[in-house]
Amino acid sequence: MTSYLCLLLSVIKHPCLLGLIVLHGTTSIQAKHHLKDDIKNILFIAGDTKHRHGFHEYKAGSIILANALNESGLPVHAKVHWYGWPEDESIFKDVDACIIYADGGGNFGDKYAFLDQKVKGGMGIMFMHFGVHPTKDVAEKYYHSWIGGFFDDDFSVNPSWVADITPKANHPVSRGIDSLTAYDEFYWNLNFPKSADCKHCYPLASAIPTEKNMIRYGSSKFWNKQAEEKLGTPQALLWCSDPEKGARGAGFVGGHYHRNWAIENYRKLILNTIAWVVRVNVPQNGVPSKEVTKAMLNQNLNRPDFPEEIELPTEEILRQEPGKKPTLGADGRMPPRAPKKPKKK
């Protein structure tokens, strides 16, 4: 009691101390409120890649997102496993949502059946970027039911373009996001089930690709007539499976350029989505996270000794000149690019 009176007298003499006491009190209340049984566990599986430095930095991106979730004040605990399927599958014990950020959907082979059992048991699941592009067999067997859609080699495309992204109005994933424009390799024209086959599947964020915002038309093996005819129409960049009961799932096509995690609302959109997938209440202003600096961007990279640092995104990136629309062949697809000539010695 005596020490409490001394503290109170100190506050009267030094009012600036009041903020420290309130902050300490808030932290204590949060710690008491987030009992162990209330905390949702999130596991990121970050794949390796053959892509260049600064692209497909799944490990570094996952760590940025996991740290943000752990520092958000939400009742969550996130951890990251990188480079392949975990040898010790006990890592999945008590996991409430698994976020897979990896090439080829993770290339998990027979382990998709393991994931399927986890999802059927209530574990939320989310795939990001190349993660939404597994083999057709895996996609058709699992992805429609897990997350509602996937990249289909027959007609999906992988251009890099400047997207004005509109989150679904009045949905928790949109909280705290007033505007969001980003340049990324945003896949579109994806394979979604008919609404009658998945009444709880819907887009969470969309954008409209046009000839004016298309910078690169992507791989010649993908660009096609069907996608070309959909220029000027809304395309889902983030979507979900949202059953009334059971596991939620989501897919996000962005995450190609690592620098984009430094865009606050880009990061917030995905943090909001992860919180929603794991069935945690998303704050009215969205999931908070601290600024991602250039130093933070350049931590935990696939090639840490690479001499060139990854730069923060700039407004100039959004003002790039549009690319030339490819001429399609008789089969409705882009002709293969000519092989590069070897450099003369």
| CATH code, domain carrying 58 | 3.40.50.880
Residue 264 in domain: yes
Residue 26 or 36, more confident: 36
Q: Mean pLDDT across the chain, nearest whole number?
A: 89
Arithmetic mean of pLDDT, 111-139: 98
Beta-strand ranges (E) seen in 144-295 are 160-164, 166-167, 181-184, 201-207, 214-216, 235-241, 249-252
Q: Does 17 score more than 60 pLDDT?
A: no
CB within 8 Å of 247: residues ≥ 6 apart: 119, 120, 121, 122, 123, 124, 125, 146
| Among 150, 151, 213, CA closest to 183 | 213
Residue 333 in domain: no
- pLDDT at residue 336, as a whole number: 76
Q: Would you mind telling me the total number of residues written for the chain in this entry?
A: 345
Residue 28 in domain: no
Instruction: Compute CA 44 distance to the chain's CA centroid, rounded to the nearest angstrom.
Output: 11
Residue 329 in domain: no
For the entire predicted model, the pTM comes to: 0.88
- pLDDT at residue 198, as a whole number: 85
Residue 38 or 206, more confident: 206
- pLDDT at residue 195, as a whole number: 80
- pLDDT at residue 197, as a whole number: 80
Arithmetic mean of pLDDT, 185-202: 91
- pLDDT at residue 161, as a whole number: 98
Residue 229 in domain: yes
Cβ(135)–Cβ(104) under 8 Å? Answer: yes
Residue 12 in domain: no
Per residue in 200-253, pLDDT tens? 999 999 999 999 999 999 998 999 999 999 999 999 999 999 999 899 999 999
- pLDDT at residue 345, as a whole number: 56
Q: Does 25 score more than 90 pLDDT?
A: no
Helix, strand, coil % over all residues of the chain, rounded to 5: 35, 20, 50
For residue 101, what are the domain limits?
42-318
- pLDDT at residue 131, as a whole number: 98
**pLDDT interval class at 343 (50, 70, 90):** low
Arithmetic mean of pLDDT, 308-336: 94
Q: Does 320 score more than 50 pLDDT?
A: yes
**pLDDT interval class at 15 (50, 70, 90):** very low
Residue 217 in domain: yes
Report how many domains make up the chain.
Answer: 1
CB neighbour class for 308 (10 Å; exposed up to 12, middle 13-18, buried from 19):
exposed
Q: Does 31 score more than 70 pLDDT?
A: no
Pairing between strand 166-167 and 124-128?
A: unpaired
Per residue in 248-282, pLDDT tens? 999 999 999 999 999 999 999 999 999 999 999 99
Residue 19 in domain: no
User: Residue 23 and residue 25: Cα distance in Å, rounded?
Assistant: 5
- pLDDT at residue 335, as a whole number: 80
Q: Does 321 score more than 80 pLDDT?
A: yes
Range with the poorest average pLDDT among 16-20, 252-256, 289-293: 16-20
